[in-house]
Structure 1
Amino acid sequence: MYGKIYIIGIGPGSPDHMTPAARKALASSDVIIGFSLYVSFVREEFPEKKYEISGMQNELARARRAIDLADQGMTVAVISSGDAGIYGIAAPTLEMMQRKGSNVEVEIVPGISALSSAASLLGSPLTNDFAVISMSDLLTPLEVVMKRAEIFAKSDIVTVIYNPRGSRFPDNLRKAIDIFAKYRDPNTVVGIVRNAYREGQSVKITKLSEIVPEEIDMLTTVIVGNSETFVYRDMMATRRGYSKKYSIDA
């Protein structure tokens, strides 16, 4: 008899921002598998659970282990911060299931994403179209990452940057910022959020020309505004465009 795999987005890390559906799935699981930081966000609420913890770069190993346990009839939770389907564990788990020809039942439980968390702390920068890109070139070739960054920079689209700067790719954010500087006004508004809704949270609104990549790490989300992004009362927002079509003063 097969078990079940829950692939769960636990949100930014704050208990207040974990969905009831995520809590229900965690409560019904026999074992919870995840990166050590993510496990620390749920262990206090579910101390009685069995945990299997591994390092950041071990997504496929976590996926393989979850399938093996579910094959034994267990209910397994595989967790990611934010939403598990956005640069998270969902796709690696499904890919591993495909490779193994697994018939285990799987349910993906969405969570509040890092981009939503960061945007809410900054104001409303994602009100209009936006793009999302990761600076990690561990799985995507660097030339592809930078080609996409240039497309976004040219298009004047608000751009969310995940995994901006890591020890294995310390210079990629600087390269991307240099690309944006070619096409955007140096005064373009940029939001920088670290540890959204958890201990050590910091929120900064700055300009494209004033970004210091060396101050940014993997726990940070960067949002580069466009020509319609503005700052009001220490909040960053992007116009919906209605002011060009309708009179907002009417």
Structure 2
Amino acid sequence: MLYVIGLGPGGEALMSQEALAAIEDCDIVVGYSTYMRLIKDLVKDKEHFATGMRQEIDRCQKAIDVAIETGKNVGVISSGDAGVYGMAGLILELLGDRADLEVKVIPGITASLGAAAIMGAPLMNDFCHISLSDLMTPMPIIEKRLLAAAEGDFVICLYNPRSKGRPNHLSKALSIISQYKSGDTIVGIGKDIGRKKEKYILTTIKDLDETLVDMTTIVIIGNKETYVKNNRMITPRGYSL
């Protein structure tokens, strides 16, 4: 069995019972070194393999090879949900037509859902996820998606919003989005969701301080109906109150 496990944002309290049971059932756990540290108390003395950033293909192929060669239960871990910018798709792509290995994808709470819960209820109406990382998706395609989402007035969850290597991607995205969304549109910034330094900040497109945003941050941009009450971000579902 090869498990592809979504860990949620980072804390054990936000992991599903299914994810905890899958880790317990694993003989071997494979993952990105940072995420492995998050579950060291769960892995305990199990055999494990950790690799660095941008080694996803090697990591997933290693898990597949070990599972097939040994017949042991192997777990590949992802933060958030394994099927949302995680390892599930890569595992299935690498397997191709092979049918000699059973794969089970274990869902987890993705960053947008974890952040939305502490912010209030910003995702009560239609929303979308867009990653600002252009490592695998060309920037012109990202820009096209941003423009379409803004024109459709979706609530927009921005993953990988800003990093040292991509310091201007967020400002560029906000400029594109501002073609259809007002500068007064409510924005939620969620930092270190599910971890010890967890916090959120509510602001607007025009007042957003980009220096607060890094790779452990998710940015949720509201629609034209989104508002703030009692420091909670709310996007109405449309009920008559």
Instruction: Tell me the TM-score normalised to structure 1 length.
Output: 0.93
Partner of 2:73: 75
Asked whether the 8 Å contact 1:162–1:222 carries over to 2, the reply is: yes
Q: CA deviation at 1:49?
A: 1.2
Partner of 2:173: 176
Q: Which amino acid aligns with 2:82?
A: A
Asked whether the 8 Å contact 1:19–1:111 carries over to 2, the reply is: yes
Asked whether the 8 Å contact 1:136–1:164 carries over to 2, the reply is: yes
Q: CA deviation at 1:165?
A: 1.2
What does residue range 131-150 of structure 1 map to in structure 2 within 5 Å? 131-150=128-147
Distance in 2 separating the partners of 1:74 and 1:163 = 34
What does residue range 94-243 of structure 1 map to in structure 2 within 5 Å? 94-98=92-96, 101=98, 103-243=100-240
List, as ranges, runs of 4+ consecutive aligned residues in structure 1 with deviation greater than 3 Å. Answer: none
- 2:82 aligns with one of 59, 81, 84: 84
Distance in 2 separating the partners of 1:86 and 1:114 = 9
Q: Which amino acid aligns with 1:95?
A: E
Asked whether the 8 Å contact 1:181–1:209 carries over to 2, the reply is: no
Q: CA deviation at 1:224?
A: 0.1
Q: 1:171 to 1:102 in 2, by over 3 A?
A: farther
Partner of 1:8: 5
Identity percentage of aligned residues? 40
Asked whether the 8 Å contact 1:194–1:221 carries over to 2, the reply is: yes
Q: CA deviation at 1:62?
A: 1.0
Distance in 2 separating the partners of 1:58 and 1:93 = 13
Partner of 2:40: 43
Asked whether the 8 Å contact 1:32–1:79 carries over to 2, the reply is: yes
Asked whether the 8 Å contact 1:67–1:102 carries over to 2, the reply is: no
Structure 2: gaps (5+ residues): none
Output one character per residue of 1:80-100: Cα deviation in whole Å (capped at 9) or x when no partner: 11110001011011111117x
Distance in 2 separating the partners of 1:210 and 1:219 = 20
Q: CA deviation at 1:185?
A: 1.1
Distance in 2 separating the partners of 1:220 and 1:5 = 30
Asked whether the 8 Å contact 1:186–1:209 carries over to 2, the reply is: yes
Asked whether the 8 Å contact 2:186–2:203 carries over to 1, the reply is: yes
Choose 29-38 or 230-239, whichever is displaced more. Answer: 29-38
Alignment length (residue pairs): 240
Q: CA deviation at 1:102?
A: 5.4
Q: Which amino acid aligns with 1:181?
A: S
Asked whether the 8 Å contact 2:24–2:42 carries over to 1, the reply is: no
